[in-house]
Structure 1
Amino acid sequence: MKKFLIIGFIILGLISLQSFKPHQHDNFINKAIASNRFEIAISEQAMNKSQNKGVQDFSKMLVDDHHKLQSQLDAYATANNLTVENDMSREQQQLLTETANLNGAAYDERFKSEIIASHENIITLFESAIKSNMAKDDTKNTWLNQTISSLKNHLELAKSLNVTDKVDTPISDTISNKHVDDMPKKMKLK
């Protein structure tokens, strides 16, 4: 009888461990997608609201890069049969509403602050995925590292963004050639 209980607990433990991995991936992918969608939305908003050339150029670059990342995240979720939530968090939606009510330098400063915070959060999320060994092969780890590199490039550009002048140095003068396009197109967990 004691052997059966021990074997039963071992089997339940193995089942629990196996069920943790999909949840871990669902959690990662949903947070990554929500953060990415927020960065697209706030950048599209900045393209329309800001009068600052640097903010406009930077926002355009973010929209382009994050749409590419969104396609890769969607493909990752589909390839791994992950459940994806299509909405940003309430907090992100509230931030978009708050920034929409700002104008001029106040808007640009808030945009810069929010895009920095968002990039710091999504970088932490991707670094956690690597540390947790979520991606079991080199291709996925390479993709995660390349994505982190691109996101860190965005973060540095955001930190250096001059939001005090209406006419700013175009961000294209400082953009690195490391973009999201270099990442593998399909990733499937084994």
Structure 2
Amino acid sequence: MNRNHAKTLAAAFVALSVSAFGAAAQAQSLPPTTRPSVSGDLLLQEGAAKGIADPSSSLAGKVRTLGEASTADSFAQQAAASGLFEVESSRLAMDRSNQDGIRAFARQMVQDHTAGNQQLMALARANGSNPAPMMTGQQEQMITQLQPLSGRDFDRQYLVNQILAHQETIRLYETARTSSDPGMQPYREFAAQTLPMLGQHLQHAQALAGSGVPTASQ
């Protein structure tokens, strides 16, 4: 190897090293994604042993129950599906869970998402659309997955589903809120008003999962 060739290889190695270091530094500067509390994460730790996904894991993060809201009609349809899933799965939790904290959370989900879907339907009809509230195939599968469960197994899976679903719904509503599509204009304010509530729901579900859930009723 001649001296000029060696110098060229050395320069290329330095350039690659600098590039890799810069990429690593940039990755470290990115904000962390929302995830459940890691301290006292009792339900999710037990769930992992039984094959129930932690919603903060890379596998669970790939689960998509909703698509991209590219148009006003697609947003309305997907938002309606999301609200219906919350209501149906939470009605099941009100019936199946014997945990006071989870039943109270589920009642709040039914109340808030029923009201949200009514507001969404009224807004859609006022703008010439009439989306049919229909769950996606994955949402129906999540409901089916819950039905045979009971006790702590049910509670674990319900909370995992709630965390995943609210993360996806927040993503959907953020897309609508920031959309520049003129057709999305009627939904931008609705999305902006709903996002704080969705964030509170997500934090509540994460807190329940992280705390191991309050004491069961006797």
Q: Taking structure 2 as the reference length, what is the TM-score of the superposition?
A: 0.62
CA distance in 1, matches of 2:185, 2:113: 24
Structure 2 residue identity aligned to 1:136: Q
Asked whether 1:61 is paired with 2:74, we answer no
Further displaced range: 34-43 or 75-84: 75-84
Q: Cα offset for 1:168?
A: 5.5
Q: 1:88 aligns with which of 112, 125, 135?
A: 135
Asked whether 1:99 is paired with 2:130, we answer no
Structure 2 equivalent of residue 180 of structure 1: none
Further displaced range: 80-89 or 119-128: 80-89
Tell me, yes or no, if the aligned pair for 1:46 and 1:55 is still in contact at 8 Å: yes
Structure-2 change in CA distance of 1:155 and 1:26 (3 Å): same
Q: Cα offset for 1:165?
A: 5.0
Per-residue Cα deviation, 1:107-137 (whole angstroms, up to 9, x for no partner): 0000000011111111110100122134437
Matches within 5 A, 1:28-39: 28-39=75-86
Q: 1:25 aligns with which of 46, 49, 72?
A: 72
Per-residue Cα deviation, 1:120-162 (whole angstroms, up to 9, x for no partner): 111110100122134437xx54432120001001100110015
Structure 2 equivalent of residue 161 of structure 1: 208
Q: Taking structure 1 as the reference length, what is the TM-score of the superposition?
A: 0.70
CA distance in 1, matches of 2:213, 2:122: 40
Per-residue Cα deviation, 1:32-74 (whole angstroms, up to 9, x for no partner): 0001100010010000000111000000011101111010111
Runs of 4+ displaced beyond 6 Å: none
CA distance in 2, matches of 1:133, 1:165: 41
Tell me, yes or no, if the aligned pair for 1:105 and 1:164 is still in contact at 8 Å: no
Q: Once the two structures are aligned, what percentage of the paired residues are identical? A: 30
Structure 1 residue identity aligned to 2:112: D
Structure 1 equivalent of residue 158 of structure 2: 111
Structure 1 residue identity aligned to 2:215: V
Structure-2 change in CA distance of 1:61 and 1:110 (3 Å): same
Asked whether 1:71 is paired with 2:133, we answer no
Structure 2 unaligned residues grouped into runs of 5+: 1-69
Structure 1 unaligned residues grouped into runs of 5+: 1-22, 170-190
Structure 1 equivalent of residue 61 of structure 2: none
CA distance in 2, matches of 1:79, 1:126: 19
